[in-house]
């Protein structure tokens, strides 16, 4: 996709791409925190043991956020 055609909220072009990447990064981090909270609930004796899958999900979200952050920073400083 041609970045010059990108639109996000009231932004256009490369600024829109950077803002969109920031929004994705933020949402991934929010999801990671939410999954961590669910993981705390799952630590209760009456809950099935889903801590390991939730830990994997948190790690995937963290990795995805890190990759988005890298791409965003590369575009800002590139």
Q: Check: CB of residue 78 under 8 Å from CB of residue 34.
A: no
Domain boundaries, the chain: 3-77
In this structure, the dihedral spanned by the alpha carbons of residues 64, 69, 75 and 77, taken in order and rounded to 10 degrees, is: -150
| pLDDT grade for 57, boundaries at 50, 70 and 90 | very high
Q: 14 versus 28: which is more confidently predicted?
A: 28
Contacts for 12 with CB less than 8 Å, ≥ 6 apart = 6
Report the half-sphere exposure of 32 (CA within 13 A, side-chain side).
16
| Mean local confidence (pLDDT), 38-48 | 75
End-to-end Cα spacing for the chain: 18
Q: Taking the model in full, what pTM does it have? A: 0.82
Average pLDDT rounded to a whole number, residues 37-49: 76
């Amino acid at each position: 996709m041609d970045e010059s055609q990108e639109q996000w909220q009231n932004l256009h072009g490369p600024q829109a791409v950077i803002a969109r990447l920031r929004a994705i990064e933020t949402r991934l981090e929010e999801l990671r925190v939410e999954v961590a909270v669910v993981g705390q609930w799952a630590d209760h004796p009456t809950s099935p043991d889903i801590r390991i899958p939730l830990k994997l999900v948190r790690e995937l979200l963290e990795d995805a956020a890190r990759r988005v952050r890298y791409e965003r920073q590369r575009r800002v400083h590139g």
